[in-house]
Chains A and B, each alone.
Chain A
Amino acid sequence: MLHVVKYIIVLFLLIVIQTQIVRLVSLHGITPDLLIIWIVYIGLKEGQIKATLWGFGIGLATDLVTGNFIGLTALTKTASGFVAGYFYNENKVQLTLSSYRFILIVLIVSLVHNTLYFIIFTRGSEIGLFQAVFTVGLAATLYTAMISLLPMVAFSRKYRR
């Protein structure tokens, strides 16, 4: 129960950072998705079902905070949690979190997330799906994966002790 409260607090902090602060480090409008890194962490730590449920909750909370396109982030983050949960291994949690595998999983989950996001987001607009995925989507994926290096290093130090 305590860790649920902890997760909720982290979630609100991350939403605030994602919506208010991360844009300060944007590169040509591309920003990393901290919530994806958080979902991957939950997936590797808690398993697929919890990651899926948390993904939905995180996405819905983001939709409600931003107030536009309700349900879109809930859908994409649900899928992200589900995919992240595939890499769950009860016996290798620390190893996965503290190794390059964590970055790779963030990369995969972020790619799935952004692809799904743009499949819906580009409907009815003049922006092409492939153009959106291969420019904005791929760049955001790489940026997110790069940022995930920070928690990976932190986990690496934490678990080495």
Chain B
Amino acid sequence: MHRLLNILAQFKEYGVVTLLIIISLVLLSNNDNKQIRAIRSYTVGFIGVVQDVLSVIPNVIELKRENAVLRQLAVNLSDEVNRLRDARLENLRLRATLGLKEQSRFKLVAADVIGKSLHLLRNTMTVNVGERDGIEIDMPIISESGLVGKVIATSPKYAVGQLMLNKDFRASAKVQRSRVDGIIVWDGGDYVKLKNVAKTLETKEGDVVVTSEYSSVFPRDIKIGIITQITEKPGSLFKEITIKPSVDFAALEQVFIILAVQDSERIALEKKVLATY
């Protein structure tokens, strides 16, 4: 400290002149004439050059702060990108479903899937529409991609649908190209089978399978899927036809329920005839 005071005492002349020059400059800067305006302009330019030169020296504290801000920004942007991506997908889905609704020959009720199972023997899903919306048991459920299943239980606000991927599910179907009929069943896995198709009938891989007019539950010509494999086992009269469903059940979020009830007269007649045999 003593040494510091000695040094300061040694250079006191410079200290005095510096202080007085600073005071003079402060007084000068209070003037508002062309000289001072010009000097202010030079000063700003000079400071700009100095700052430009000094900017190449990294400021660790500033960089840390900037880094934190950028990280926060990255998180926010990432979140926004995710939300926009979801919105885009939802938009695409809604456009597709809207298109289906507009083109459909049936009266449809839109529903959101609020629950579903895909890994059981009897897979079902729950939707957020029910009896108050006109939903009844056995009404077909479809999506923009094709057949989903049918309603098996209802409450005022909800309904439970039996998926095509259900052991108890049955649907009359036909090969669209060759008009060959069969029954859709599910034995497990992601694919369904078209049963009761004789070996002599024409089918080939890639054929589209749709619902048949023989069905008393499903309207005709709703897409079910595409034939991916045909197996002919020796000693059997029928082909084993594997179909890849056109609906991606795992990604199913919105469906439509067709407000079509069974033709009770037709069912009654068929039951009566069957009873006589």
In the complex, are the beta carbons of A82 and B27 less than 8 A apart? Answer: no
> Given the complex, which residues of A lie within 8 Å of B29, measured CB to CB?
71
Q: Roughly how many angstroms separate A59 CA and B29 CA in the complex, as a whole number? A: 16
Q: Are B35 and A56 in contact (CB under 8 A)?
A: no
Query: When each residue 11-27 of chain B gets 1 if its CB lies under 8 Å from chain A and 0 otherwise, what string results?
Result: 01100110011011111
CB of A71 within 8 A of CB of B30, answer yes
Q: How far is the CB of B118 from chain A (nearest CB, A)?
A: 82
Which one of B36-44, B166-174, B194-202 is at the interface?
B36-44
B187 to chain A, nearest CB (A): 95
Quick check: is B103 within 8 A (CB to CB) of the other chain? no
Answer whether residue A106 sits at the interface, using C-beta atoms and an 8 A cutoff.
no
Report A113-148 CB contacts with B as 1/0, cut-off 8 Å. 000000011111100000000000000000000000
**Residue A78 CB within 8 A of the other chain:** yes
A interface bracket (residues with beta carbon within 8 Å of B): 20 to 34
Q: Are A71 and B31 in contact (CB under 8 A)?
A: yes
Question: CA A93 – CA B178 in complex, angstroms?
Answer: 129
Say yes or no: A52 contacts B42, CB within 8 Å: no
A-side contacts of B23, CB under 8 Å: 56, 74
Residues of B within 8 A of A70 (CB): 27-28, 30-31
Which residues of A sit under 8 angstroms from B33, Cβ to Cβ? 69, 124
Q: Which of B174-202 contact A (CB under 8 A)?
A: none
Residues of B within 8 A of A69 (CB): 28, 31, 33, 35
Distance in angstroms from B23 CB to nearest chain A CB is 7
For B26, list chain A residues within 8 Å (CB): 71
Decide: A125 and B20 in contact? CB cutoff 8 A: no
B35 touches A78 (CB 8 A): no
Contacts of A61 in B (CB 8 A): none
Interface pair A123/B39, CB less than 8 Å apart:
yes
**Nearest CB to that of B12 among chain A residues?**
A49
A30 within 8 Å of B by Cβ?
no
In the bound assembly, the distance between CA atoms of A78 and B13 in angstroms comes to: 12
Residues of B within 8 A of A (CB): 12-13, 16-17, 20-21, 23-31, 33-39, 42
New A-B contacts (14) at CB < 8 Å, excluding given A69-B28, A124-B34: A49-B12, A56-B23, A59-B24, A60-B27, A63-B27, A69-B35, A71-B24, A71-B30, A74-B23, A75-B25, A78-B20, A79-B21, A121-B35, A125-B35
Could you show 5 A-B contacts with beta carbons less than 8 Å apart? A60-B27, A71-B24, A72-B24, A74-B27, A123-B39
